Amino acid sequence: MAMTLTLLYGVRTFARDLRIEMVVFALLIGGLGVLNAMKLMKIIELGLPALDMSSIFQKVFYIYMSFLATVLPPCVIWLVLCRLTDDLRALAAHDPLTRLLNRRGLMEALEQYFRSRTAVAAYLLIVDVDHFKGINDTYGHKVGDLILSRVAQVLKACARQGDLICRLGGEEFVVIALDTDKAGALQLAERIRDAIEQGEVLQSGLQQGIRCTVTVGVSDRFSSAQAFDERLQEADTALYWGKTHGRNRVEWGGVPAA
């Protein structure tokens, strides 16, 4: 009973991605529990003769036990390997600091999205922390990591459900705005820029929080994963324009958003 309840508990907690397998295991082990209960009742009723291997019940019982002994060990090994494979796949697709997608994970997500029948055009936003090297030089890399983590949190809070968020590398992030238009993409970029400007990172030993700003470049729409690099270059050109014209601003495709 304890093993069965543990497996059923796992369906809602540690093994939510293996629900069907865990339910099957729970049923198999639950069946063993039922047979053991029936065996106990027969022993109480008939005594030790109930253990006679010539009885039909004993034959069924040991056939079932042999079946479990044959099936469960390789299945358990298979489940462990599945979990390890899933964990490794997740590590390979995510940035270890911010837990956002990395470039590999983003490309996989984009390819999966554009393969779906409901896929529509998307817009690419590249978000770059202003003067990040100066922050690292002044406060140290630990604070720099806190800044990056804070930016990642803001991106998650500002992005809409379904949008893809990636740490491209260093202080650069990418947001893929799905199912929107040019106005919506620019509004999202401005919302991100404003939220980061208004926030601050608290650090022990400092009397006041550390603030930072970002510059955001927004690309035109694209409809395939193969167009990602082209739109990334377009957004990067817009970002460069913003960096050379004051920072802390949103730029559209290399031309001022205004």
- As to burial, measured by CB atoms within 10 angstroms (0-12 exposed, 13-18 middle, 19+ buried), residue 198 is exposed
Phi-psi region of 209 (alpha: psi -120 to 50; beta: other; left: phi over 0): beta
- Please report how many Cα atoms fall inside a 13 Å half-sphere around the Cα of residue 19, on the Cβ side: 4
Q: Active site includes 171?
A: yes
- As to burial, measured by CB atoms within 10 angstroms (0-12 exposed, 13-18 middle, 19+ buried), residue 123 is buried
Q: Length of the chain, please?
A: 258
Catalytic residue, from 45, 171, 230, 251: name it: 171
62-89: b or e for each residue (b if 16 or more CB lie within 10 Å)?
Answer: eeeeeebeeeeeeeeeeeeeeeeeeeee
Long-range Cβ pairs for the range 62-70 (8 Å, 24+) = 64/31, 64/32, 64/35, 65/32, 68/28, 68/29, 68/32
Active site residues: 171
